[in-house]
Amino acid sequence: MSNNTPRVALVTGGTGGIGEAVVDALVADGFAVGVHYAGNKAKADALVEKITTAGGQAVAVGGDVADEHAMAAAFDTVRTAFGGIDVVINTAGIMVLGPIADYDLDQFDQIVRTNLRGAFVVSQLAARHVRDGGAIINFSTSVTRTQLPKYGPYVATKAAVEGLTLILARELRGRDITVNAVAPGPTATPLFFDSNNEQTIAALTNVTPLERLGRPEEIATTVAQLAGPARWVNGQTVFVNGGLA
């Protein structure tokens, strides 16, 4: 790449609360960005239009993260548009809470498909296509430490994502590619508010020493560091949670 060619990132779940904040942070750092969406094409297109109008470079790509063919096409679209991919950030995920004893198995299959198979598919494609010197960032959760009731299925998928992420970091030895997982604490996103009742939201708002929810842009700041200058952080799970645990 010449000095005039931007680094290129693909952000899955780019229309979500954290995903959109990540897209904004990367664009501010000069990245060309592939904004992935699962269902909200209109929002992805609007985000791309906002970026390009402001002089940035972006393209919208759709598809189920667990569908290897759809995601291969998404990777190809970004590579065709910008010449390659340097960073892949997988924020896509779903969260449906419930006690293990009563959890619907069809719902369990769905959460495993999106959160775990999706992370595997995206990680596999990233391992094949990210250029040397790049970065791969998956998403876990701080509830792997706090072990809150009703988060069992969600945490099971995210603990598995951590495991495959840290092994991938070792498998990519020799390519100068960092692979890390980011584990947010309670963050003010639509996913968080839609998945918790008012009592739980109030409790989680006050549980950190900072006595508030995290903001999506605060998660994105850490992601941008891992995508850019933080080259000596590799094979780690980085907890971004205001001191939760």
Annotated active-site residue 37? The verdict is no
pLDDT tens digits along 51-98: 999 999 999 999 999 999 999 999 999 999 999 999 999 999 999 999
Average pLDDT along the chain: 95
Tally of structural domains, the chain: 1
The Cα–Cα gap between 129 and 117 comes to 18
Q: Given pLDDT bands bounded at 50, 70 and 90, which one contains residue 245?
A: confident
* CA atoms of 77 and 75, how far apart (whole Å): 5
Distance between CA 167 and CA 149 in Å, rounded?
28
Residue 1 lies in a domain: no
Decide if 245 is inside a domain.
no
CATH number at residue 141: 3.40.50.720
As beta bridge partners, residue 208 has none
pLDDT over 90 at 190, yes or no? no
191-216 average pLDDT score:
87
* Residue among 37, 103, 151, 154 flagged as catalytic: 154
Instruction: Name which of 58, 9, 43, 62 is nearest 190 in CA terms.
Output: 43
SS3 172: coil
In a domain, 192, yes or no: yes
Tokens 């998945």 belong to residue: 195
pLDDT at 3: 53
Residue range of the domain that includes 53: 8-240
Query: What are the tens digits of pLDDT across the range 32-45?
Result: 999 999 999 999 99
For residue 1, the model assigns a pLDDT of 45
Answer whether residue 183 is part of any domain.
yes
- 233 vs 189, which has greater pLDDT? 233
Q: What is the reported pTM?
A: 0.95
